[in-house]
């Protein structure tokens, strides 16, 4: 299941990275400015943020594997149309349409990981899945180079080739992908692992399905959840750092003495380098018994130092050191906050939480990192981009510090919950049908009270 989920998600990136990786050919062959490329990229970000938000609701209520493959086919078809246009306006429209299909990938895949892996191993599994987009971005570069070599650098051929490759991989993965465990007669993951997962208020997050209306789920489990808001704002800030660097590597590095071709390959190498880093820190969060926020906070400190090297080092080697270290310290926290927002809500709201966070990531984070930075660079030079990224890095530091303290409270409650009797655990997981006295005693123990909580 995990292999199918990872490679399916990687296929989405083989399509979505083409415009970003080919920004210099688009400027030279089509005559676009840096600012126009930024607007094209931000059009995708805006559409993707809205789509991810909406598709999160849908992902919680439909067949996951079918939804995933249909979206991939749709994205591949839209990508074909890029091969036959040089119009700035048409490209913006195509990016918006493509973003609708691309918005399905993350909510479905994150839901699959949450439903199939227990908290004690979910950090590693989620990191492996999260690293799939790095693999997909690297394989996109390989696909681009192969198509460019075979078809004399034709941008049309590059768009067509990426669509075909992604669709073929996605089809093969559909054949081995899975639905939620209960569809196959298996117990849910909390029952199977005999563990209790709680939110900040001490409520259980078990249950992959619900009879609640979509609106009630959104209001109660998302809008009224402080952890979801904090994690979403942290993720937005990390996204500004992520795309503020990644989107502009092909344009920024040539100003530091790198060739355009070298800069493009560095994008692929950068993505490939981040795979073991993301997986390693996901594994570390499991070793620390689910302390995702603590790992994120520590990495944020290192990230700020590495960004200083990337923007201000006089030597090419030091610039690359800063780039790769900062990348590891951005992508690993992005993986961890993505998991944190899923663990802050019931299993039936994982897709919605992913979509809500994605709204902040792309409507604000990606737009600032592409459109705003592109316009600032056109008017003030590359120094302006560093100011935006360092402000975002400061927000990452502040919010991750808050999350670290909140996480400590949740983990302490979970320790007490996992020490409850089977009857008390059952009462927590199904409070509506539980004995009131048993439930009150269980809640009191979880929250560290000596007496049962009054109703």
User: pLDDT (tens digit, 9 = 90+) per residue, 424-443?
Assistant: 777 777 776 777 778 788 77
Write the CA distances from 295 to 214, 232, 238, 408, integer angstroms. Answer: 33, 17, 14, 12
Write the CA distances from 416 to 98, 264, 422, 424, integer angstroms. Answer: 46, 51, 13, 11
pLDDT at 209: 65
pLDDT at 137: 83
pTM for the model = 0.79
Domain extent listing, the chain: 2-179+211-417, 419-449
How many residues are recorded in the chain?
Answer: 455
The CATH superfamily holding the domain 2-179+211-417 is MFS general substrate transporter like domains (1.20.1250.20)
pLDDT at 119: 81
Cα 309 to its chain centre, rounded Å, is 26
pLDDT at 455: 47
Query: For 25-79, how does the pLDDT look when each residue is reduced to its tens digit (9 = 90+)?
Result: 888 888 888 778 878 888 888 888 889 889 988 888 888 889 999 999 999 999 9
Tell me 256's DSSP state: G
Reference 218, options 48, 354, 101; nearest CA is 354
Reference 18, options 134, 161, 205; nearest CA is 161
Phi-psi region of 63 (alpha: psi -120 to 50; beta: other; left: phi over 0): beta
Residue numbers of the chain with a pLDDT score lower than 70: 193-194, 199-210, 432, 449-455
Neighbours of 207 (CB within 10 A): 14
Structure tokens of 144?
A: 């681009």
Residue with tokens 């310290």: 329
Convert 152-215 into a string of H (helix), E (strand) and C (coil).
CCCHHHHHHHHHHHHHHHHHHHHCCCCCCHHHHCCCCHHHHHCCCCECCCCCECCCCCCCCCHH
């Amino acid at each position: 299941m995990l292999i199918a989920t990872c490679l399916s998600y990687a296929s989405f990136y083989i399509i979505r990275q083409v415009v970003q990786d080919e920004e210099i050919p688009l400027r030279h062959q089509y005559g676009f400015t840096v600012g126009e490329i930024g607007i094209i990229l931000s059009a995708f970000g805006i559409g993707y943020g809205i789509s991810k938000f909406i598709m999160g609701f849908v992902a919680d209520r439909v067949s996951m594997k079918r939804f995933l493959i249909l979206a991939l086919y749709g994205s591949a078809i839209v990508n074909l149309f890029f091969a036959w246009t040089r119009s700035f306006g048409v490209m913006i429209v195509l990016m918006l349409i493509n973003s609708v299909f691309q918005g399905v990938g993350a909510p479905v895949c994150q839901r699959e990981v949450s439903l199939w892996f227990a908290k004690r191993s979910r950090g590693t599994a989620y990191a492996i899945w999260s690293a799939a987009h790095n693999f997909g971005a690297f394989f996109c570069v390989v696909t681009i180079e192969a198509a460019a070599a075979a078809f004399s650098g034709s941008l049309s051929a590059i768009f067509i080739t990426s669509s075909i490759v992604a669709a073929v991989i996605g089809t093969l993965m559909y054949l081995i992908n899975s639905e939620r465990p209960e569809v196959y007669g298996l117990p849910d993951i909390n029952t199977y692992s005999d563990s209790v997962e709680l939110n900040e208020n001490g409520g259980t997050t078990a249950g992959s399905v619900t009879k609640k209306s979509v609106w009630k789920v959104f209001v109660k489990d998302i809008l009224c959840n402080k952890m979801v808001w904090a994690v979403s704002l942290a993720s937005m800030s990390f996204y500004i750092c992520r795309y503020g660097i990644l989107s502009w590597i092909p344009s920024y590095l040539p100003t530091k003495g790198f060739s355009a071709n070298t800069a493009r390959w560095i994008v692929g190498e950068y993505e490939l380098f981040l795979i073991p880093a993301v997986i390693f820190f996901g594994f570390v969060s499991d070793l620390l018994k689910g302390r995702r926020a603590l790992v994120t906070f520590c990495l944020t400190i290192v990230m700020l130092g590495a960004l200083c090297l990337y923007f201000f080092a006089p030597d090419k080697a030091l610039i690359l050191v800063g780039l790769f270290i900062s990348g590891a310290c951005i992508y690993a926290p992005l993986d961890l906050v993505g998991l944190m927002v899923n663990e802050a809500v019931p299993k039936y709201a994982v897709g919605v939480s992913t979509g809500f966070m994605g709204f902040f990531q792309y409507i604000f984070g990606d737009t600032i990192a592409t459109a705003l930075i592109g316009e600032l660079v056109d008017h003030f030079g590359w120094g302006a981009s560093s100011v935006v990224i360092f402000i975002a890095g400061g927000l990452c530091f502040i919010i991750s510090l808050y999350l670290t303290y909140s996480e400590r409270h949740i983990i302490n409650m979970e320790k007490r919950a996992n020490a409850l009797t089977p009857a008390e655990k059952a009462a927590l997981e199904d409070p509506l049908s539980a004995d009131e006295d048993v439930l009150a005693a269980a809640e009191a123990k979880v929250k560290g009270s000596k007496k049962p909580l009054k109703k």
